[in-house]
Protein backbone atom coordinates (compact mmCIF):
# COMPACT_ATOMS: atom_id res chain seq x y z
CA UNK A 1 0.00 0.00 0.00
CA UNK A 2 1.27 3.50 -0.84
CA UNK A 3 2.25 5.65 2.08
CA UNK A 4 -0.05 8.67 2.42
CA UNK A 5 1.90 11.75 3.48
CA UNK A 6 0.59 13.25 6.67
CA UNK A 7 0.89 17.05 6.78
CA UNK A 8 0.10 19.15 9.82
CA UNK A 9 -0.20 22.88 9.27
CA UNK A 10 -0.02 25.25 12.23
CA UNK A 11 -1.85 28.47 11.34
CA UNK A 12 -4.93 28.84 9.14
CA UNK A 13 -4.15 32.14 7.38
CA UNK A 14 -3.32 32.37 3.67
CA UNK A 15 0.08 30.76 4.26
CA UNK A 16 -1.67 27.77 5.83
CA UNK A 17 -5.07 27.32 4.16
CA UNK A 18 -3.86 27.72 0.58
CA UNK A 19 -1.18 25.10 1.24
CA UNK A 20 -3.79 22.80 2.80
CA UNK A 21 -6.02 22.95 -0.29
CA UNK A 22 -3.11 22.11 -2.62
CA UNK A 23 -1.86 19.29 -0.37
CA UNK A 24 -5.34 17.74 -0.11
CA UNK A 25 -5.72 17.93 -3.90
CA UNK A 26 -2.39 16.09 -4.22
CA UNK A 27 -3.63 13.28 -1.99
CA UNK A 28 -1.98 14.09 1.35
CA UNK A 29 -3.76 13.72 4.69
CA UNK A 30 -3.92 17.27 5.94
CA UNK A 31 -4.75 18.84 9.29
CA UNK A 32 -4.90 22.60 9.86
CA UNK A 33 -4.60 23.78 13.46
CA UNK A 34 -5.60 27.38 14.13
CA UNK A 35 -6.21 29.09 17.43
CA UNK A 36 -8.23 32.11 16.33
CA UNK A 37 -10.17 31.29 13.17
CA UNK A 38 -9.58 29.99 9.66
CA UNK A 39 -8.47 32.79 7.36
CA UNK A 40 -6.06 33.99 10.01
CA UNK A 41 -5.23 37.59 10.70
CA UNK A 42 -5.46 38.25 6.96
CA UNK A 43 -9.20 37.55 6.97
CA UNK A 44 -10.25 38.34 10.53
CA UNK A 45 -8.27 41.42 11.59
CA UNK A 46 -5.90 42.76 8.91
CA UNK A 47 -6.31 42.55 5.17
CA UNK A 48 -10.02 41.83 4.64
CA UNK A 49 -11.40 44.19 7.34
CA UNK A 50 -9.13 47.07 6.35
CA UNK A 51 -10.00 46.79 2.67
CA UNK A 52 -13.72 46.58 3.51
CA UNK A 53 -13.44 49.76 5.61
CA UNK A 54 -11.51 51.40 2.77
CA UNK A 55 -14.32 50.49 0.35
CA UNK A 56 -16.62 52.77 2.36
CA UNK A 57 -13.92 55.45 2.53
CA UNK A 58 -13.55 55.29 -1.27
CA UNK A 59 -17.26 55.96 -1.72
CA UNK A 60 -16.92 58.99 0.58
CA UNK A 61 -14.00 60.30 -1.48
CA UNK A 62 -15.99 59.88 -4.70
CA UNK A 63 -18.90 61.81 -3.19
CA UNK A 64 -16.62 64.52 -1.82
CA UNK A 65 -15.04 64.99 -5.26
CA UNK A 66 -18.41 64.85 -7.06
CA UNK A 67 -19.22 68.60 -7.12
CA UNK A 68 -16.30 69.11 -9.48
CA UNK A 69 -18.13 66.91 -11.98
CA UNK A 70 -21.28 68.99 -11.62
CA UNK A 71 -23.08 66.80 -9.08
CA UNK A 72 -25.28 68.63 -6.59
CA UNK A 73 -25.87 67.03 -3.21
CA UNK A 74 -27.52 69.08 -0.48
CA UNK A 75 -26.97 72.32 -2.38
CA UNK A 76 -24.79 73.59 -5.14
CA UNK A 77 -21.06 72.97 -5.01
CA UNK A 78 -20.77 71.08 -1.75
CA UNK A 79 -21.43 67.58 -0.47
CA UNK A 80 -22.49 66.94 3.06
CA UNK A 81 -21.85 63.32 3.88
CA UNK A 82 -21.30 61.31 6.99
CA UNK A 83 -20.90 57.71 8.07
CA UNK A 84 -22.52 55.61 10.74
CA UNK A 85 -19.31 53.94 11.88
CA UNK A 86 -21.22 51.37 13.93
CA UNK A 87 -22.95 50.14 10.77
CA UNK A 88 -19.74 50.31 8.76
CA UNK A 89 -17.92 48.19 11.36
CA UNK A 90 -20.81 45.73 11.66
CA UNK A 91 -20.54 45.20 7.90
CA UNK A 92 -16.75 44.86 8.09
CA UNK A 93 -16.89 42.23 10.84
CA UNK A 94 -19.78 40.28 9.29
CA UNK A 95 -17.98 40.15 5.95
CA UNK A 96 -14.74 38.96 7.57
CA UNK A 97 -16.58 36.31 9.62
CA UNK A 98 -18.41 35.04 6.53
CA UNK A 99 -15.17 34.93 4.56
CA UNK A 100 -13.59 32.87 7.35
CA UNK A 101 -16.57 30.48 7.34
CA UNK A 102 -16.43 30.13 3.55
CA UNK A 103 -12.73 29.23 3.66
CA UNK A 104 -13.26 26.74 6.50
CA UNK A 105 -16.12 25.15 4.55
CA UNK A 106 -13.88 24.90 1.46
CA UNK A 107 -11.19 23.17 3.50
CA UNK A 108 -13.60 20.66 4.99
CA UNK A 109 -15.10 19.97 1.55
CA UNK A 110 -11.58 19.31 0.25
CA UNK A 111 -11.11 16.69 2.98
CA UNK A 112 -8.89 18.76 5.28
CA UNK A 113 -9.24 18.21 9.02
CA UNK A 114 -9.65 21.54 10.82
CA UNK A 115 -8.86 21.78 14.54
CA UNK A 116 -9.39 24.84 16.72
CA UNK A 117 -6.40 24.96 19.04
CA UNK A 118 -2.79 25.96 19.59
CA UNK A 119 -0.06 23.90 18.00
CA UNK A 120 3.53 23.29 19.01
CA UNK A 121 6.30 21.14 17.53
CA UNK A 122 7.44 18.01 19.30
CA UNK A 123 10.98 17.31 18.21
CA UNK A 124 14.53 17.06 19.31
CA UNK A 125 17.23 18.47 17.09
CA UNK A 126 16.35 18.39 13.43
CA UNK A 127 13.41 16.08 12.77
CA UNK A 128 9.86 16.61 13.92
CA UNK A 129 7.57 13.61 14.12
CA UNK A 130 4.54 15.13 15.79
CA UNK A 131 2.68 18.28 16.76
CA UNK A 132 1.10 18.81 20.14
CA UNK A 133 -2.25 20.59 20.04
CA UNK A 134 -3.95 22.23 22.99
CA UNK A 135 -7.54 22.29 21.77
CA UNK A 136 -10.00 25.12 22.30
CA UNK A 137 -12.03 22.71 24.48
CA UNK A 138 -9.07 22.30 26.86
CA UNK A 139 -7.78 18.89 25.75
CA UNK A 140 -4.38 17.91 24.39
CA UNK A 141 -3.81 15.96 21.17
CA UNK A 142 -0.66 14.57 19.64
CA UNK A 143 -0.78 14.59 15.86
CA UNK A 144 1.79 12.55 13.98
CA UNK A 145 3.29 14.25 10.96
CA UNK A 146 5.62 13.46 8.07
CA UNK A 147 5.78 17.17 7.25
CA UNK A 148 4.90 20.24 9.29
CA UNK A 149 4.16 23.68 7.84
CA UNK A 150 4.43 26.63 10.20
CA UNK A 151 2.24 29.56 9.10
CA UNK A 152 1.61 31.33 12.38
CA UNK A 153 1.63 34.91 11.11
CA UNK A 154 2.34 38.05 13.08
CA UNK A 155 0.66 40.50 15.45
CA UNK A 156 0.86 44.28 15.98
CA UNK A 157 4.01 45.51 17.70
CA UNK A 158 3.20 47.42 20.88
CA UNK A 159 5.32 50.10 22.55
CA UNK A 160 5.60 49.86 26.34
CA UNK A 161 4.96 53.60 26.63
CA UNK A 162 1.93 53.49 24.35
CA UNK A 163 -0.06 50.50 25.52
CA UNK A 164 -3.28 50.03 23.54
CA UNK A 165 -6.39 50.10 25.74
CA UNK A 166 -8.78 49.08 22.96
CA UNK A 167 -10.84 52.21 23.58
CA UNK A 168 -8.85 55.25 22.57
CA UNK A 169 -5.34 53.92 22.05
CA UNK A 170 -5.82 51.24 19.43
CA UNK A 171 -4.01 48.72 17.30
CA UNK A 172 -5.31 48.05 13.78
CA UNK A 173 -7.04 44.92 15.07
CA UNK A 174 -9.11 46.94 17.57
CA UNK A 175 -10.51 49.74 15.43
CA UNK A 176 -13.54 47.69 14.34
CA UNK A 177 -14.93 47.86 17.87
CA UNK A 178 -15.52 51.62 17.51
CA UNK A 179 -19.17 52.66 17.27
CA UNK A 180 -18.51 56.36 16.59
CA UNK A 181 -16.08 57.99 14.23
CA UNK A 182 -13.00 59.32 16.04
CA UNK A 183 -13.25 63.11 15.88
CA UNK A 184 -9.48 63.64 16.01
CA UNK A 185 -7.40 60.60 15.14
CA UNK A 186 -3.64 60.49 15.59
CA UNK A 187 -2.06 57.76 13.48
CA UNK A 188 1.44 56.83 14.67
CA UNK A 189 3.46 55.25 11.87
CA UNK A 190 3.44 56.21 8.21
CA UNK A 191 4.23 52.85 6.62
CA UNK A 192 1.64 51.10 4.46
CA UNK A 193 -0.75 50.31 7.33
CA UNK A 194 -0.52 53.79 8.87
CA UNK A 195 -1.01 55.49 5.49
CA UNK A 196 -4.00 53.30 4.55
CA UNK A 197 -5.83 53.95 7.83
CA UNK A 198 -4.92 57.66 7.91
CA UNK A 199 -6.33 58.12 4.40
CA UNK A 200 -9.44 56.07 5.15
CA UNK A 201 -10.40 57.85 8.37
CA UNK A 202 -9.74 61.28 6.82
CA UNK A 203 -12.18 60.32 4.02
CA UNK A 204 -14.72 59.02 6.56
CA UNK A 205 -14.68 62.40 8.30
CA UNK A 206 -12.07 62.27 11.09
CA UNK A 207 -9.52 65.04 11.51
CA UNK A 208 -6.32 63.01 11.10
CA UNK A 209 -2.77 63.74 12.24
CA UNK A 210 -0.22 61.35 10.78
CA UNK A 211 2.96 61.06 12.85
CA UNK A 212 5.90 59.94 10.73
CA UNK A 213 9.40 59.37 12.04
CA UNK A 214 10.81 59.78 8.52
CA UNK A 215 11.12 62.62 6.00
CA UNK A 216 8.08 61.45 4.09
CA UNK A 217 5.15 59.07 4.35
CA UNK A 218 5.67 55.52 3.03
CA UNK A 219 9.42 55.22 3.62
CA UNK A 220 10.77 52.35 1.57
CA UNK A 221 8.20 52.80 -1.21
CA UNK A 222 8.53 54.59 -4.54
CA UNK A 223 9.40 58.18 -3.60
CA UNK A 224 7.47 59.82 -6.46
CA UNK A 225 4.40 57.89 -5.37
CA UNK A 226 4.92 58.80 -1.72
CA UNK A 227 5.20 62.47 -2.67
CA UNK A 228 1.90 62.39 -4.59
CA UNK A 229 0.17 60.74 -1.64
CA UNK A 230 1.55 63.17 0.91
CA UNK A 231 0.40 66.13 -1.20
CA UNK A 232 -3.09 64.61 -1.56
CA UNK A 233 -3.26 63.91 2.19
CA UNK A 234 -2.36 67.52 3.00
CA UNK A 235 -4.74 68.96 0.41
CA UNK A 236 -7.58 66.96 1.98
CA UNK A 237 -6.83 68.54 5.35
CA UNK A 238 -4.63 65.92 7.02
CA UNK A 239 -1.78 67.11 9.23
CA UNK A 240 1.39 65.20 8.36
CA UNK A 241 4.15 65.52 10.95
CA UNK A 242 7.38 64.32 9.33
CA UNK A 243 10.65 63.63 11.18
CA UNK A 244 8.52 63.23 14.31
CA UNK A 245 9.15 60.05 16.26
CA UNK A 246 6.47 59.24 18.85
CA UNK A 247 7.82 58.09 22.20
CA UNK A 248 4.61 57.63 24.21
CA UNK A 249 0.82 57.73 24.04
CA UNK A 250 -1.26 58.07 27.18
CA UNK A 251 -4.88 58.69 28.09
CA UNK A 252 -5.92 62.01 29.62
CA UNK A 253 -9.61 61.47 30.36
CA UNK A 254 -11.41 61.42 27.02
CA UNK A 255 -8.29 62.50 25.17
CA UNK A 256 -5.02 60.92 24.11
CA UNK A 257 -1.68 62.70 24.38
CA UNK A 258 1.09 61.51 22.07
CA UNK A 259 4.60 62.66 23.06
CA UNK A 260 7.23 63.11 20.39
CA UNK A 261 10.93 62.53 21.01
CA UNK A 262 11.74 66.22 20.44
CA UNK A 263 9.49 67.23 23.35
CA UNK A 264 6.38 68.28 21.37
CA UNK A 265 3.00 66.73 22.09
CA UNK A 266 -0.01 66.03 19.88
CA UNK A 267 -3.47 65.51 21.28
CA UNK A 268 -6.56 63.91 19.84
CA UNK A 269 -9.61 61.88 20.79
CA UNK A 270 -8.06 58.59 19.57
CA UNK A 271 -4.70 57.19 18.57
CA UNK A 272 -3.97 54.33 16.20
CA UNK A 273 -0.59 52.69 16.69
CA UNK A 274 0.80 51.32 13.41
CA UNK A 275 4.42 50.69 14.30
CA UNK A 276 5.02 47.31 12.69
CA UNK A 277 4.49 43.66 13.58
CA UNK A 278 6.10 40.87 15.57
CA UNK A 279 6.17 37.25 14.35
CA UNK A 280 4.12 34.66 16.30
CA UNK A 281 7.03 32.31 16.87
CA UNK A 282 7.64 32.32 20.63
CA UNK A 283 5.85 29.21 21.86
CA UNK A 284 6.24 26.83 18.95
CA UNK A 285 9.09 24.70 20.33
CA UNK A 286 11.34 25.91 17.52
CA UNK A 287 14.72 25.74 19.25
CA UNK A 288 14.14 22.17 20.51
CA UNK A 289 13.08 21.12 17.02
CA UNK A 290 16.15 22.64 15.37
CA UNK A 291 14.23 25.43 13.58
CA UNK A 292 16.42 28.53 13.53
CA UNK A 293 15.14 32.09 13.70
CA UNK A 294 16.60 35.55 13.00
CA UNK A 295 17.28 37.95 15.90
CA UNK A 296 13.86 39.49 15.18
CA UNK A 297 12.23 36.08 15.79
CA UNK A 298 11.36 35.33 12.14
CA UNK A 299 11.79 31.75 10.97
CA UNK A 300 14.69 31.33 8.55
CA UNK A 301 13.55 29.75 5.26
CA UNK A 302 15.03 29.19 1.82
CA UNK A 303 13.25 29.93 -1.46
CA UNK A 304 11.26 26.69 -1.32
CA UNK A 305 10.10 27.45 2.24
CA UNK A 306 12.39 24.91 4.00
CA UNK A 307 13.46 25.74 7.54
CA UNK A 308 16.64 24.43 9.16
CA UNK A 309 14.78 21.31 10.41
CA UNK A 310 14.51 18.62 7.76
CA UNK A 311 10.75 18.09 7.55
CA UNK A 312 9.57 21.49 8.77
CA UNK A 313 8.55 24.24 6.33
CA UNK A 314 7.38 27.79 7.07
CA UNK A 315 5.34 30.34 5.13
CA UNK A 316 3.98 33.83 5.50
CA UNK A 317 4.52 36.60 8.01
CA UNK A 318 6.27 34.31 10.51
CA UNK A 319 9.15 34.14 7.99
CA UNK A 320 9.33 37.91 7.43
CA UNK A 321 10.00 37.43 3.70
CA UNK A 322 7.43 39.96 2.47
CA UNK A 323 4.33 40.63 4.54
CA UNK A 324 1.65 40.09 1.92
CA UNK A 325 -1.18 37.58 1.84
CA UNK A 326 -0.28 36.70 -1.75
CA UNK A 327 3.32 35.95 -0.80
CA UNK A 328 2.24 33.89 2.24
CA UNK A 329 -0.06 31.80 0.02
CA UNK A 330 2.66 31.28 -2.59
CA UNK A 331 5.22 30.25 0.06
CA UNK A 332 2.71 27.78 1.51
CA UNK A 333 1.92 26.22 -1.88
CA UNK A 334 5.63 25.98 -2.72
CA UNK A 335 6.27 24.24 0.62
CA UNK A 336 3.65 21.63 -0.11
CA UNK A 337 4.78 21.04 -3.69
CA UNK A 338 8.33 20.58 -2.45
CA UNK A 339 7.36 18.30 0.41
CA UNK A 340 5.27 16.11 -1.88
CA UNK A 341 8.00 15.86 -4.52
CA UNK A 342 6.20 17.94 -7.17
CA UNK A 343 7.97 20.29 -9.60
CA UNK A 344 8.47 23.61 -7.89
CA UNK A 345 9.66 27.10 -8.81
CA UNK A 346 11.50 28.85 -5.96
CA UNK A 347 9.78 32.05 -4.91
CA UNK A 348 10.83 35.15 -6.86
CA UNK A 349 10.03 38.40 -5.07
CA UNK A 350 10.92 40.48 -8.13
CA UNK A 351 7.62 39.37 -9.68
CA UNK A 352 5.36 40.22 -6.76
CA UNK A 353 2.77 42.88 -7.48
CA UNK A 354 1.69 44.85 -4.45
CA UNK A 355 -0.78 47.62 -3.77
CA UNK A 356 -1.22 50.34 -1.18
CA UNK A 357 -4.95 50.91 -0.77
CA UNK A 358 -4.90 54.66 -0.32
CA UNK A 359 -6.75 57.14 -2.53
CA UNK A 360 -5.17 57.21 -5.08
CA UNK A 361 -3.86 53.66 -4.86
CA UNK A 362 -0.17 52.87 -5.39
CA UNK A 363 0.56 49.63 -7.23
CA UNK A 364 4.04 48.32 -7.95
CA UNK A 365 5.65 45.33 -9.60
CA UNK A 366 9.22 44.29 -10.30
CA UNK A 367 11.96 46.88 -10.34
CA UNK A 368 11.14 50.40 -9.19
CA UNK A 369 13.47 53.34 -8.65
CA UNK A 370 13.71 52.37 -5.04
CA UNK A 371 15.16 48.92 -5.65
CA UNK A 372 16.54 49.39 -9.18
CA UNK A 373 19.18 51.91 -8.14
CA UNK A 374 20.66 49.58 -5.58
CA UNK A 375 20.09 46.29 -7.42
CA UNK A 376 20.97 47.23 -10.94
CA UNK A 377 21.34 50.80 -12.19
CA UNK A 378 20.94 49.73 -15.81
CA UNK A 379 17.39 50.79 -16.75
CA UNK A 380 15.32 53.26 -18.78
CA UNK A 381 12.28 54.85 -17.20
CA UNK A 382 9.29 56.85 -18.41
CA UNK A 383 6.77 58.56 -16.14
CA UNK A 384 3.44 59.77 -17.53
CA UNK A 385 1.36 62.00 -15.26
CA UNK A 386 -2.21 60.78 -14.97
CA UNK A 387 -3.60 64.16 -16.00
CA UNK A 388 -2.30 63.56 -19.53
CA UNK A 389 -4.70 60.62 -19.89
CA UNK A 390 -8.05 61.48 -21.54
CA UNK A 391 -10.11 59.08 -19.40
CA UNK A 392 -8.53 60.45 -16.23
CA UNK A 393 -9.49 63.99 -17.34
CA UNK A 394 -13.09 62.89 -17.92
CA UNK A 395 -13.23 61.20 -14.52
CA UNK A 396 -11.65 64.17 -12.79
CA UNK A 397 -8.54 62.22 -11.66
CA UNK A 398 -5.57 64.54 -11.37
CA UNK A 399 -3.21 62.88 -8.93
CA UNK A 400 -0.99 60.06 -10.05
CA UNK A 401 1.13 58.67 -12.81
CA UNK A 402 2.15 55.56 -14.73
CA UNK A 403 5.85 54.77 -14.54
CA UNK A 404 7.46 51.97 -16.52
CA UNK A 405 10.98 50.58 -16.31
CA UNK A 406 12.75 48.74 -19.16
CA UNK A 407 16.11 47.27 -19.96
CA UNK A 408 18.07 49.52 -22.36
CA UNK A 409 18.77 47.74 -25.64
CA UNK A 410 16.33 44.83 -25.42
CA UNK A 411 13.47 46.99 -24.12
CA UNK A 412 12.42 44.18 -21.74
CA UNK A 413 9.91 45.47 -19.20
CA UNK A 414 11.50 45.36 -15.73
CA UNK A 415 8.77 46.84 -13.57
CA UNK A 416 6.33 49.62 -13.00
CA UNK A 417 4.56 51.90 -10.56
CA UNK A 418 0.98 53.04 -11.07
CA UNK A 419 -0.53 55.73 -8.87
CA UNK A 420 -4.22 56.04 -9.72
CA UNK A 421 -7.67 55.12 -8.48
CA UNK A 422 -7.91 51.31 -8.74
CA UNK A 423 -4.21 51.03 -9.59
CA UNK A 424 -4.47 47.51 -8.13
CA UNK A 425 -6.53 46.52 -11.18
CA UNK A 426 -4.30 48.35 -13.68
CA UNK A 427 -0.96 46.87 -12.63
CA UNK A 428 -1.83 43.41 -13.96
CA UNK A 429 -0.75 44.19 -17.54
CA UNK A 430 2.64 45.33 -16.22
CA UNK A 431 2.89 42.22 -14.04
CA UNK A 432 2.24 40.05 -17.10
CA UNK A 433 4.90 41.93 -19.05
CA UNK A 434 7.44 41.48 -16.25
CA UNK A 435 6.60 37.82 -15.72
CA UNK A 436 6.64 36.93 -19.40
CA UNK A 437 9.70 39.09 -20.20
CA UNK A 438 7.76 41.11 -22.77
CA UNK A 439 9.42 44.05 -24.50
CA UNK A 440 8.04 47.58 -24.45
CA UNK A 441 7.23 47.17 -28.15
CA UNK A 442 5.10 44.10 -27.44
CA UNK A 443 3.23 45.97 -24.69
CA UNK A 444 2.76 49.00 -26.93
CA UNK A 445 1.41 46.84 -29.77
CA UNK A 446 -1.52 45.52 -27.71
CA UNK A 447 -4.80 47.36 -28.29
CA UNK A 448 -6.13 49.28 -25.32
CA UNK A 449 -9.66 50.65 -25.05
CA UNK A 450 -10.05 54.34 -25.90
CA UNK A 451 -10.43 56.17 -23.61
CA UNK A 452 -8.98 54.17 -20.73
CA UNK A 453 -6.45 54.54 -17.93
CA UNK A 454 -4.69 51.43 -19.25
CA UNK A 455 -3.97 53.47 -22.38
CA UNK A 456 -1.25 55.17 -20.31
CA UNK A 457 0.53 51.82 -19.81
CA UNK A 458 0.72 51.29 -23.58
CA UNK A 459 1.71 54.94 -24.10
CA UNK A 460 4.54 54.68 -21.53
CA UNK A 461 5.78 51.57 -23.34
CA UNK A 462 5.64 53.44 -26.66
CA UNK A 463 7.63 56.34 -25.18
CA UNK A 464 10.27 53.94 -23.86
CA UNK A 465 10.77 52.70 -27.41
CA UNK A 466 11.23 56.21 -28.83
CA UNK A 467 13.38 57.29 -25.85
CA UNK A 468 15.59 54.35 -26.62
CA UNK A 469 15.83 55.31 -30.32
CA UNK A 470 16.93 58.92 -29.63
Q: Is 12 in the site for ligand FAD (CB under 6 A)?
A: yes
Among 9, 21, 23, 41, which residue sits at the site for ligand FAD (rule: CB under 6 A)?
41
- Is the CB of residue 154 less than 8 Å from the CB of residue 171? no
Instruction: Tell the smallest beta-carbon distance from residue 172 to ligand FAD (Å).
Output: 4
Nearer to ligand FAD, 96 or 464 (CB): 96
Q: Is 221 in the site for ligand FAD (CB under 6 A)?
A: no
Instruction: Tell the smallest beta-carbon distance from residue 461 to ligand FAD (Å).
Output: 27
Q: Is 371 in the site for ligand FAD (CB under 6 A)?
A: no
> Residue 271: CB partners within 8 Å, gap ≥ 6?
162, 168, 169, 170, 185, 186, 187, 188, 249, 256, 258
Q: Is 415 in the site for ligand FAD (CB under 6 A)?
A: no
Part in contact with ligand FAD (CB under 6 A); list of ranges 82-90, 151-159, 225-233, 358-366: 151-159
Instruction: Tell the smallest beta-carbon distance from residue 362 to ligand FAD (Å).
Output: 12
Beta pairing, strands 265-268 & 169-170: unpaired
Among 152, 293, 311, 389, which residue sits at the site for ligand FAD (rule: CB under 6 A)?
152
Instruction: Tell the smallest beta-carbon distance from residue 86 to ligand FAD (Å).
Output: 20
Among 153, 279, 415, 421, which residue sits at the site for ligand FAD (rule: CB under 6 A)?
153
- Is the CB of residue 419 less than 8 Å from the CB of residue 399? yes
Q: Is 317 in the site for ligand FAD (CB under 6 A)?
A: yes
Part in contact with ligand FAD (CB under 6 A); list of ranges 149-157, 233-241, 291-299, 393-401: 149-157
Instruction: Tell the smallest beta-carbon distance from residue 54 to ligand FAD (Å).
Output: 9
Q: Is 46 in the site for ligand FAD (CB under 6 A)?
A: yes
Instruction: Tell the smallest beta-carbon distance from residue 42 to ligand FAD (Å).
Output: 3
Nearer to ligand FAD, 325 or 406 (CB): 325
Q: Is 316 in the site for ligand FAD (CB under 6 A)?
A: yes
- The dihedral sign for the CA sequence 435, 440, 445, 446: positive
Q: Is 15 in the site for ligand FAD (CB under 6 A)?
A: yes
Q: Is 191 in the site for ligand FAD (CB under 6 A)?
A: no
Q: Is 172 in the site for ligand FAD (CB under 6 A)?
A: yes
Instruction: Tell the smallest beta-carbon distance from residue 447 to ligand FAD (Å).
Output: 30
Part in contact with ligand FAD (CB under 6 A); list of ranges 31-39, 265-273, 334-342, 379-387: 31-39
Instruction: Tell the smallest beta-carbon distance from residue 391 to ligand FAD (Å).
Output: 25
Q: Is 190 in the site for ligand FAD (CB under 6 A)?
A: no
Exposed, middle or buried, 288 (CB in 10 Å: 0-12/13-18/19+)? Answer: middle
SS3 of the chain: the string is CCCCCEEEEECCCHHHHHHHHHHHHCCCEEEEEECCCCCHHHHHCCHHHHHHHHHHHHHHHHHHHHHHHCCCCCCCCCCCCCCCHHHHHHHHHHHHHHHHHHHHHHHHHCCCEEEEEEEEEEECCCCEEEEEEEECCCCEEEEECCEEEECCCEEECCCHHHCCCCCCEECCCCHHHCCCCCCEEEEECCCHHHHHHHHHHHHHCCEEEEECCCCCCCCCCCHHHHHHHHHHHHHCCCEEECCCCEEEEEEECCEEEEEECCCCEEEECEEEECCCEEECCCCCCHHHHCCCECCCCCECCCCCCECCCCCEEECHHHCCCCCCHHHHHHHHHHHHHHHCCCCCCCCCHHHCEEEECCCCEEEEEECCHHHHHHHCCCCEEEEEEHHHCHHHHHHCCCCCEEEEEECCCCCEEEEEEEEECCHHHHCHHHHHHHHCCCEHHHHHHCCCCCCCCCHHHHHHHHHHHHHHHC
Q: Which of residues 253-292 bind ligand FAD (CB under 6 A)?
A: 280, 284
Q: Is 325 in the site for ligand FAD (CB under 6 A)?
A: yes
Among 16, 182, 189, 366, which residue sits at the site for ligand FAD (rule: CB under 6 A)?
16
Q: Is 151 in the site for ligand FAD (CB under 6 A)?
A: yes
Question: Residue 260 pairs with which residues in a beta bridge?
Answer: 246
Q: Is 194 in the site for ligand FAD (CB under 6 A)?
A: no
Q: Is 170 in the site for ligand FAD (CB under 6 A)?
A: no
Instruction: Tell the smallest beta-carbon distance from residue 174 to ligand FAD (Å).
Output: 11
Q: Which of residues 99-138 bind ligand FAD (CB under 6 A)?
A: 118-119
- Number of residues lying near ligand FAD (CB under 6 A): 37
Q: Which residues bind ligand FAD (CB under 6 A)?
A: 10-16, 33-36, 40-42, 46-47, 50-51, 118-119, 151-154, 172, 193, 280, 284, 316-318, 323-326, 328, 357
Amino acid sequence: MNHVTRIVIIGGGPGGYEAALVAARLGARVTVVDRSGIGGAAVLTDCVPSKTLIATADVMTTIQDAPELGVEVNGVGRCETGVDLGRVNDRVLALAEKQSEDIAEGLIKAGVEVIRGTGRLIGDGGTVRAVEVRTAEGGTLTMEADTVLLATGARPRELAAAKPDGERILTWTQVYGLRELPRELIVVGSGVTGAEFAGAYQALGSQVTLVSSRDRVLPGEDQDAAQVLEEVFQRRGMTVLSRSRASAAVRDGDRVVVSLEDGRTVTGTHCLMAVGSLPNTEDLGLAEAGVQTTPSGHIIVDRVSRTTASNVYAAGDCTGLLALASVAAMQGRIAVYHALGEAVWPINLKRVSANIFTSPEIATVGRTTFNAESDDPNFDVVKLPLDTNPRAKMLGFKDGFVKLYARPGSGTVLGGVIVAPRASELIHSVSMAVDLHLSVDQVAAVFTVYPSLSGSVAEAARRLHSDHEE
